[in-house]
A and B are shown apart, each in its own frame.
Chain A
Amino acid sequence: MKRSLRLAAVAAGLLGLWHMIVVVAALPHFILPTPVRVFAALIAQAELIAGHALVTLAEIVAGLIIGTLLGALGALSLAHFRPARQWLLPVVVVSQAIPVFAIAPILVLWLGYGMGSKIAMAIIIIFFPVTTAFYDGLRRTDPGWIDLATTMNATRRAMLLRVRLPAAMPALASGIRVAAAVAPIGAVVGEWVGSSAGLGYLMLHANARLQIDVMFAALLVLAVFALAVYFLVDAFLRRLVHWQPVTLFARDQEDT
């Protein structure tokens, strides 16, 4: 409870500061609207914004799920198959050398103006952090556990799925947290480059027509989505690796 109170206090403080800046600097509303104006636009255009917001949310969630699954599968293949390490690992690394912004137009060209290209973008952004974090976790299993499983005549498959995999869950969780934080970037970048729906599209559209209050309203919704996705994913991951002890700032958790 205390944690949500703190969040509310921080949000209220930031909104107050924003309002003050606009009033003190006497900024015109087409440069920076006051928060009041933005909320008014949010309510007035609620239906329009909600329609676009759902599209973006669907892109983020689909990208996150598919990207995480592909990333996890990629890491498991890397850990299990030697040829995968020899052939796939360089591809994974090289794929990150190309900026996502640069391939966005190509994805739109190939996959169209619809959600497909945005989901693909989110997947590409997500795949790398998930794969590398999880693969690293799979490689760094406590040697004692490996010794124990070896003396128990564990099969190779069981060694991977019952020892290395659960032991790597905290690492995978870290990768998914990063993925949850960057997934909205992939979706919105895709929408900027070419789309007919979504918050990114709405923002560009409103910007061009100097409806800055609508743009900010869309931005606000996007930020709330990004935060919600992150915190939901984080809460889920905490439950998933509940057995992992938190040693750093463990006492900070007590009053949340």
Chain B
Amino acid sequence: MSSIVDRSPGAVTADTPRRAAGPTIDVHAARLVFGSSVLFDALDLSLAGGQWTCILGPSGVGKSSLIRIVAGLERGAAGTRIAARDGRDLDGRIAWMAQQDLLFPWARLAANVAIGARLRASSSGDHGASLARARALLAEVGLGAYADAYPATCSGGMRQRAAIARTLFEDRPIVLMDEPFSALDAVTRLRLQELAAAMLAGRTVLLVTHDPLEALRLGHRIHVMAGRPARLGAPLEPAGTPPRDPGDPALLALQAELLGRLRAADDQT
């Protein structure tokens, strides 16, 4: 909790790049058991500071559970250790994005973006400032004209943009994304990948996805998670800086390789 208090919301404005430089995170000996089945055991993962780490894998392999454990939404079994290399507590430094936009239907977009301040605040004294910041962030993701709209009147792409703005509002150095773009159409997905890559630059990002191309566009490191108990494959590190061009032949070749790995992983389970 303390780590969010010392970051004043006013310090971030639209023109200063938000560089809440992300720390490196180590997940060590992660273990998760559902009933009698061991989803994963002794699983190690490092999230390089300020970079995107992507995890691909077949459904049900435990990707979502892993990201939920890092988010603190689920507890790993005894022995699971998650720590930041900078030695500070992770609590209050993690933002979360899910496949559903999770916007509150009763609140306008601006209020949705600023919801974190409301949920933490003991008093709502500076809510005007929060809303102004939320509006600025909505403008940055291209929704400036829709700050007063209700989510129900927005398209899926607009709603997920608003969710990105909400994640930015949280201004946390670590961002966990659980298939954030999987419900969108192909073009909207490409646009939002570019938006997310630009907006979240400098943060430590963990992205779980089904889509090899998405991982290749955005990831500095890509792991394939497979098996039961699940293991992480050696990381693939595509050249160039994200967001990479989806038409790049080298990228497409890698996509073919990744699909091959995923198919092998699927046969394994």
Q: Which residues of A contact B (CB under 8 A)?
A: 142, 144-145, 147-155, 158-159, 162-163, 166-167, 169, 241, 243-245
Among B89-97, B182-190, B198-206, the stretch in contact with A: B89-97
User: In the complex the two chains form, what is the Cα distance from A148 to B170 in whole Å?
Assistant: 11
Q: In the complex, A243 Cα to B106 Cα: how many Å?
A: 6
Residue among B100, B105, B116, B152 making CB contact with A152, cutoff 8 Å? B116
Which of B4, B91, B104 has the most chain A CB atoms closer than 10 A to its own CB? B104
**Complex contact A147–B105 (CB within 8 A):** no
Q: List 28 A-B contacts (CB under 8 A).
A: A145-B102, A147-B71, A148-B98, A148-B102, A151-B71, A151-B72, A151-B73, A152-B96, A152-B115, A152-B116, A153-B1, A153-B92, A153-B120, A154-B119, A158-B121, A159-B119, A162-B115, A162-B118, A162-B119, A163-B104, A167-B106, A241-B106, A243-B105, A243-B106, A243-B150, A243-B152, A244-B105, A245-B105
- Across-interface contacts of A148 in B (CB, < 8 A): 96, 98, 102
B122 contacts partner chain A, Cβ-Cβ < 8 Å: yes
- Decide if B105 touches A158 in the complex (CB within 8 Å): no
Interface residues of B (CB under 8 A from A): 1, 4, 68, 71-73, 91-92, 94-96, 98, 100, 102, 104-107, 115-116, 118-122, 150-152, 170, 176
Chain A residues lying within 8 Å of B4, measured Cβ to Cβ, are 153
Among B94, B105, B150, residue most surrounded by chain A Cβ atoms (within 10 Å): B105
Give the chain B neighbours of A144 by CB distance below 8 A.
98, 100, 102
Residues of A with C-beta under 8 A to B121: 158
Extra 15 A-B pairs, beta carbons < 8 Å, given A154-B119, A162-B115: A142-B102, A145-B102, A145-B104, A149-B119, A150-B72, A151-B94, A151-B96, A153-B92, A153-B120, A158-B121, A159-B119, A162-B119, A163-B104, A243-B105, A244-B105
B102 touches A245 (CB 8 A): no
Contacts of A169 in B (CB 8 A): 106
- Compute how far the CA of A150 lies from the CA of B71 in the bound complex, rounded to whole angstroms: 9
Residue picked from A150, A151, A154, A159, most chain B C-beta under 10 Å: A151
In angstroms, how far is the closest chain A Cβ from the Cβ of B62?
17
CA distance A209 to B170 in the complex (A): 74
Complex interface: chain A residues within 8 A of B71 (CB): 147, 151
Select which of A155, A163, A244 is within 8 A of B122 by beta carbon: A155
Nearest-neighbour CB distance to chain A for B147, whole angstroms, equals 16
B105 A150 Cβ-Cβ under 8 A:
no
Which among A153, A163, A166, A244 is the interface contact of B91 at CB below 8 angstroms?
A153
CB distance from A168 to the nearest CB of B (A): 11
Q: Which residues of B contact A243 (CB under 8 A)?
A: 105-106, 150-152
Q: Which of B1, B95, B119 has the most CB of A within 10 A?
A: B119
**Minimum-distance CB pairs A-B, first 8:** A154-B119, A151-B96, A152-B116, A243-B105, A158-B119, A166-B106, A243-B106, A148-B102
